[in-house]
Amino acid sequence: MGNINPSMGGGSRGEESKADSSRVEPFSDLLGAPGDLAPLGDLALVLHAHLPYVRSSEPGSLEEDWYFQALQECYLPLLAVLEAAARDRRQHARLTLGLSPTLLSLLADRQLNARFLPWLVQRQELLAQAPASQSAAADHLGQQLRQVEEQWLSYEGQLVPRFRQLQQQGVVELITCGATHGYLPLLRDVPESVRAQLVNAVREHQRLLGERPLGIWLPECAYYEGLDQQLVRAGLRFSVLDGHGLLHAMPRPRYGVFAPICSPAGVAFFGRDGNATLPVWSAREGYPGDGAYREFHRDMGWDLPEQELQDLGIPSRRPLGLKLHRVTSQGCPLDQKQPYDPAAATAQVQHHAAAYLQGRAAELQQLAGSMEQPPLLVAPFDAELFGHWWFEGPQFLAALFQQASEARVRLVTLREMLQRPQSVQVCRPSPSSWGQGGYHDYWLNDSNAWVIPEWQRAGRAMVRRVNRGVASPQQRDLLSQAGRELLLAQSSDWSFILRAGTTTELARERIHRHLDRFWRLLDAIDSGTELPQDWLEAVQREDGLFPQLNAADWVSPAPASPLA
């Protein structure tokens, strides 16, 4: 039996081969003092808030709609629920929340956010066109739009400080993600590309939130062997995997997904519990598919005449986020959906929150009889599920916060769990993701595999160019901008869209746009040619995220000395 000090980082490949079920890792030395144990066990809700970088879109574009709808339906309601819970001393609200660097960049962009209030006013004008048969639903949605408007004004359009304050109050633990949500297993052939995704994520998180993150939501929860060593070098110490990332670990963890494991390099990994996620995540088998809840796919953007939309300033037919119907029943055609009843949906939220907590309490009680330490249930979700995909989701979270103590379920953050004095089994996590099929198929298939050689070619060119150095500050600025374009081209969102078959032309255009800009910038450095000033300024304005990006992030590590 042996211990390694987590503050010292990782082990070599030789150490990895020695991982066994008796070896443990004392994380409490790194993260601080323990908290109180719950009578039955703990539930860690983990939300991943992310959007691709849509700053470069034109005002009124579809991409801008994605961001503003997420503000209106998810991020602002989520903040309202968390802040209300923080004010209520009777609640023990806890949440681990990942804020991706691209989302943080959007939230901090004053010029982009200045267009949100006019967007809200436009939605209120569109809502006035709702038929009389949907008046109750329209009145309810109109009230929600006004509440969001008041909340936005009270925040002065600045959400990032509100999230930071919630972390300071101990309600949320904020973690990061890959810089642009790059799918790391498919970037591993150029290790410097993985490092750039990680170090820029940490740097941007610290710049905007004032504290270095210890945790990371790996993009798509995707892991490959050896990634833990890269995480440690970036200062990241814990993450979440899908259940099979732990269940197929070597050796198989003694407690399955109901306790964290520690990788040989010194990173803690938590596993998703399917029983704790399915009731909330599944539209078919879970709560969001209940007939009382708001229907996601029926939208006024499809119902209103196209000419009427254009008269109200909508350039093309699209979802507007104005939904006035309920699910009604599974399999009900969209044109037969019934009007939304807000009161019935609210009552169902309370019922489902109680049922969810009862289910978790029963699960914890059953596990407690076969474990030598209190069991932990980890329930990770995309944050946009709560409010965007499932309109009542924020209400559901509020009900969980209110009812958890009575149900004898203690809500915890992942960091709190690592502050406990109990030891953590050392295992090698299995390569995995939480995508369809459980591995990498969704991002490596006939629809999107063409982009992977493009990432590799550009990544290697960036490494070569950085290692040769630059001759002037102007060239250094161009190289830094090339790094931004490379990171943006690597976003897994565009590969996901190509596979999903939705807005594929938009996704393809985005990939080509960033790669074309990357190669043009590199060519200007190599050839010494001067780029048109208007083109360069437009690129720097549109893709001006990560102001602290350093091209040195792509420097190849020095080869090890043969005498080392």
By annotation, the residues acting in catalysis are 220, 382
* Total Cβ atoms within 10 A of residue 23: 20
State the Cα–Cα distance between residues 439 and 271, nearest whole angstrom: 15
Q: Which of 35, 32, 45 is nearest to 6 (CA)?
A: 32
Q: Give the residue from 225, 238, 215, 180 showing the smallest Cα distance to 489.
A: 180
* Cα–Cα distance, 419 to 166 (Å, whole number): 19
Q: Give the separation between CA 73 and CA 386, rounded to whole angstroms.
A: 8
What's the Rg (C-alpha) of the chain?
24
Cα 215 to Cα 235: distance, rounded to the nearest angstrom: 9
Cβ contacts of 409 within 8 Å, gap of 6 or more: 38, 40, 41, 42, 43, 357, 360, 361, 364
Sign of the CA dihedral with 108 first, then 109, 114, and 117 last:
negative
Burial class (CB within 10 angstroms; exposed 0-12, middle 13-18, buried 19+) of 258: buried
519: nearest Cα among 494, 496, 539 = 539
* Tokens of residue 18, six digits: 């020695």
Cis peptide before 251 (omega within 30 of 0): yes
Tell me phi and psi for residue 44, to 5 degrees: -105, 110
* 321 conformational bin, left if phi > 0, alpha if psi -120 to 50, beta if neither: left
How many CA atoms lie less than 13 Å away from 57 in the CB half-sphere? Answer: 20
Closest C-alpha to 209, from 136, 159, 140, 150: 159
Dihedral sign (CA 455, 538, 119, 100): positive
- Reduced 3-state DSSP string for 377-401: EEEEEEHHHECCCECCHHHHHHHHH
d(CA 136, CA 142): 10
Q: Find the farthest-apart pair of alpha carbons in the chain and give their distance in angstroms, rounded.
A: 82
Locus of tokens 């940490």? 202
Return the beta strands (E) in 247-299 as ranges: 261-262, 268-271
Q: How far is C-alpha 309 from the geometric centre of its chain's CA atoms?
A: 32
